Amino acid sequence: MILSRLSLPTKVTVLLLGLSLGPLLISGIVHENRAVASGKQAVRERYAQSARFAARAFDLRIEGFNRDVGLLATRFPVAALDLPAIARHLDVEGTLLPTAIGRHELHVFNALNEGDAQTFLALPDGRVFFSQPFHNVRSVPNLKAFPWFAKLDRLRGGTILGDLPPFTVAGHPQLIALKPLFASPGVSTGYLGALLDPSVLQRILREVVREQSGARSITAGTELAALINQYGQFAAHSHRHLVGTAVPPHLFGTRTTGTEEVQIGEERVILSRAEVGRSGWYVALQTPVHGAYREVYTLTWLLTVMIVLTFIFVLLFADHLATVLLRPVHELERGAEMIGAGALDYRIELQDHAHDELGRVAHAFNKMGENLLRSRRQIEAYGRTLSVANQELDAMVFAITHDLKKSLRGIEGFATFLDEDYAPQLGRDGVEMIQSIVQNVHRIEKLADDLIGLVEHERERGERAGFPMDALLREAREHCLENLIGEVTIQPGMPELIGDRVRLSLVFTNLISNGLKFNRSARPRVEITFEDLGTVFEFAVSDNGIGIDSRYHEHIFDLFSRLHAKDEYDGMGTGLNLAWRIIEEHRGQINVESKPGLGSRFIVRVPKDPSSLTSPGFPL
């Protein structure tokens, strides 16, 4: 068959087309209206995003303009103004001053606004006495003569859209920012204002909307794009001659942000609104529905055609492709399950796919099974050899220690005989040397006993099973308190652990006894706590003993490791090494946190998952 000669990626691609497009086709037929609604929602969200983007740009410009005027008013040298002299000049001359205190600050402000702003100063009675740039006018304007002044004066400053002849052209209102000047708190000495050129807002509206829409301008495809102030006037408009006019009710009446479809006369439009900060100003974008949804309607038609064509394709090929392509996959799956279950001699045969990717995968599975089978046999052989070697080593240890102890008993007997019968002839120094010999003999005997005990502990392996830790810890506590004095507290609610109970009991017995033995406190204390860390249980054995210097933290788990003189504390240094090996067998960890004089904290982490236990006594 031609299909059997195709590569695996081609087969998988064809299979995915057949199996995945079927449900998608049915879903497309059933939910076509939902897809159209989602497309329309995406279009509305695009216009809403454009409105929000424009509102953000206006907010940055208008609020920045208002903030700069306020900062200029705060830092203006009001105290240097001679207000009576300025008032007399206006009364006599009736013209603006050609220069004034603070002219440099006003010039810098205009320069920062790239020449798109002009500033002015006014007396407390509202008469303007200076402007930057200078205006040679015969009639001095009075701010109180304009309706917008009362609104801003009541709010103690702000921004508004209004006229200020002769600084503005009649019928072309500009953005005005006004701030009161104070020589002292609560005492107004005049006003500082600025006018922003209308072209700035028009430019922002044009550039922001064009940038948001890409190469083509949204404004060209919309009926309206405008900036509306809080008093219902157009501050900027895609049709510039409408700036300053009243806003239609459908734009200003609701004053809510968002996007919706509204009916305007006989035409239905998409209307997007976004507030400029919290100023009460709004950006409005309006576009006819038929133009905005043109792409959605086109995609809907194309989707219908594709649904029909794809459904025919899926109907003809899906069943055949599924049957042909999944058969070798099922064989591979069965082979993997058999090998995973331990049948390493199982082999996968794919005659029709000997030369494609599936055939190579089957060959790799068979090769893996052969390697695993060979490795298992080698491991079993190594295990038998190791078991025999361990038995021989244990026998040798027992024999050596037995002969060693026999010789030591003879040495101890001769030393005792010399001490009892020849003490006067040996003198005090001789007796002390004999006693030293006896003590070292006892120490070597203890070392031999510990070595035998270590071997016996290695032989003692229990079965893997679950058991309550609180019972194990109580038994370990009772065993330690038989020969040592102190207090051992166990946290309530200990969990159930899975492992070798006999060997884990040795771990905690050694840790508890060390905490009580290596302790100079009047009341030796040991506390055992635990914490569930998800995949492991963490047990902590803390004591108030002598502590361990950080230099020895890595060496205390070595065999026969001792940090103190033999006559200071008993022990041969085998307990912690045994504990470390037992925890390693359980795939856990044991660490220490300690400082000299501040006690020690041994942390034991044991995994919850029984399959992670890999001791020879634990069959997986």
What pLDDT sits at residue 216? 46
DSSP string covering 232-289, please? SBEEEESSGGGTTSBPPHHHHSS---EEEEEEETTEEEEEEEEE-TTSS-EEEEEEEH
- For 154-186, how does the pLDDT look when each residue is reduced to its tens digit (9 = 90+)? 888 888 877 888 887 766 778 888 999 887 777
At residue 582 the predicted structure's pLDDT band, cuts being 50, 70 and 90, is confident
What would you report as the CA-atom Rg of the chain, rounded to the nearest whole angstrom?
Answer: 47
Neighbouring C-beta atoms of residue 617, cutoff 10 Å = 13
Q: How far is CA 204 from the centre of its chain?
A: 38
Q: How many CA atoms lie within 13 A of 24 on its CB side?
A: 14
The pair of three-digit structure tokens given for residue 515, joined into one six-digit string: 């905490």
Distance, first Cα to last Cα, the chain: 46
- For 354-409, how does the pLDDT look when each residue is reduced to its tens digit (9 = 90+)? 667 767 777 777 777 778 778 777 887 876 777 676 666 666 766 677 667 677 77
Checking if the pLDDT of 266 tops 70, the result is yes
With tokens 């076509």, the residue in question is: 32
* Separation of alpha carbons 245 and 227, rounded Å: 12
- For 227-258, how does the pLDDT look when each residue is reduced to its tens digit (9 = 90+)? 888 778 888 888 878 887 888 877 776 667 78
* Contact criterion met (CB below 8 Å) for 233 and 220: no
Q: How far is CA 454 from the centre of its chain?
A: 48
Neighbouring C-beta atoms of residue 467, cutoff 10 Å = 16
DSSP 3-state of 380: helix
The structure's pTM equals: 0.41
Going from N- to C-terminal start, the domains of the chain cover 2-30+296-339, 57-194, 200-295, 357-459, 461-612
What pLDDT sits at residue 219? 45
* Contact criterion met (CB below 8 Å) for 251 and 272: no
Equal CATH topology for 57-194 and 200-295: yes
* Separation of alpha carbons 200 and 566, rounded Å: 91
| CATH fold group of domain 461-612 | Heat Shock Protein 90 (3.30.565)
Q: Residue 311: what residue type?
A: F
With tokens 């005990």, the residue in question is: 453
What pLDDT sits at residue 616? 43
* Separation of alpha carbons 77 and 407, rounded Å: 108
- For 536-558, how does the pLDDT look when each residue is reduced to its tens digit (9 = 90+)? 999 999 999 888 888 877 777 77
- For 74-98, how does the pLDDT look when each residue is reduced to its tens digit (9 = 90+)? 888 887 888 888 888 888 888 888 8
Name the residue among 198, 199, 206, 254 with its Cα closest to residue 226.
206
More confident site: 508 or 369: 508
What pLDDT sits at residue 469? 92
* Separation of alpha carbons 498 and 476, rounded Å: 17
CATH architecture of 200-295: 2-Layer Sandwich (3.30)
Look up the CATH number of domain 57-194.
3.30.450.20
- For 299-329, how does the pLDDT look when each residue is reduced to its tens digit (9 = 90+)? 777 777 777 777 677 656 655 666 666 677 7
Name the residue among 285, 249, 281, 256 with its Cα closest to residue 161.
281
